[in-house]
Amino acid sequence: MKMRKLGSSGLEVSALGLGCMGMSSAYGPPADKAGMIRLIRDAHERGVTLFDTAEAYGPFANEELVGEALAPIRDRVAIATKFGFDISPTGERGGGLNSRPEHIRQVAEAALKRLRTDRIDLFYQHRVDPDVPIEDVAGAIRQLVAEGKVGHFGLSEAGIETIRRAHAVQPVTAVQSEYSLFWRGPEAELLPTLEKHGIGFVPFSPLGAGFLTGKIDENTKFDPTDFRNAVPRFSPEARKANMALVGIVKTVAGRKAATPAQIALAWLLAQKPWIVPIPGTTKPHRLEENLGAVDLDLTTDDLREIDAGAEAVQIVGARLPAAALAQTEDAS
């Protein structure tokens, strides 16, 4: 497995991480726990060292799963988790955001127990809380870092100014936001800002929530609990229109003897050496497929062909439901 450093922080992880959210929530009913423990451990055996979770996934169930799976190999991996939603200790959602410093500490202490560890390697603010100055958030993390309970500070779906202000108080190691051929918003301002400040980038949904695998079309039926049912970009009409993008990826995949998923991930990896995508899966064969992207070299001509084709496609539909978009800052 090739390794990458997240910006100038010194945090070195595998070129691809593993997003664990879908094992417990969002994409349908929770997957078999024993099977997911095996998959997480298999990912590590194949070289993956960055595992991404959050208190909100479940809530709590995903952190508990990741903690149990990684306990035997804790010192050989980096665990990323998140705070920022108003979730009570019993798992009841308040419906909003909460990044008050005292709440951050409560979340950290509870996450350490669920993750069966004495430190969180990368602690993200899941969504920016407009009611709490980001300087206060960064200050709370700085204290946790000083105590050895947190290794690195991260932000998720944060805007440019928020990133700058946070970084001035406590260095930001990584920013996590959606980024793929299906959503290229970060290219305009976010990526240049991260490069300027030596901050790594961790794209979630690097396969466009599965769309770029080529296994989804306008006739695909999702489980009733799958979040994609509420995403405008995944309406049947939008999927039909957006298949033009998948066609471009499939063309390159056919020429490179690769899969569309591998092309989509290899394209991301080729954008910057400090980008570490975190594709998620619950299937061992998909894990193996995704990891194959690390050794797939796209030539300048390949990248030019993909970019030219993608630029000619007008993507239909918003990337998130309106309520979810309202909790994000413009990180484009």
pLDDT per residue over 175-211, tens digit each? 999 999 999 999 999 999 999 999 999 999 999 999 9
Spans of the chain, pLDDT less than 70: 330-332
What is the count of structural domains for the chain? 1
What residues make up the domain containing 264? 3-325
Do the domain assignments include residue 332?
A: no
Say what the pLDDT of residue 332 is.
47
Any idea which residues carry the catalytic annotation?
57
Do the domain assignments include residue 331?
A: no
C-alpha 318/C-alpha 62 separation (Å) is 27
pLDDT per residue over 78-107, tens digit each? 999 999 999 999 999 887 999 999 999 999
216: domain CATH number is 3.20.20.100
Say what the pLDDT of residue 330 is.
66
Q: Whole-model pTM?
A: 0.97
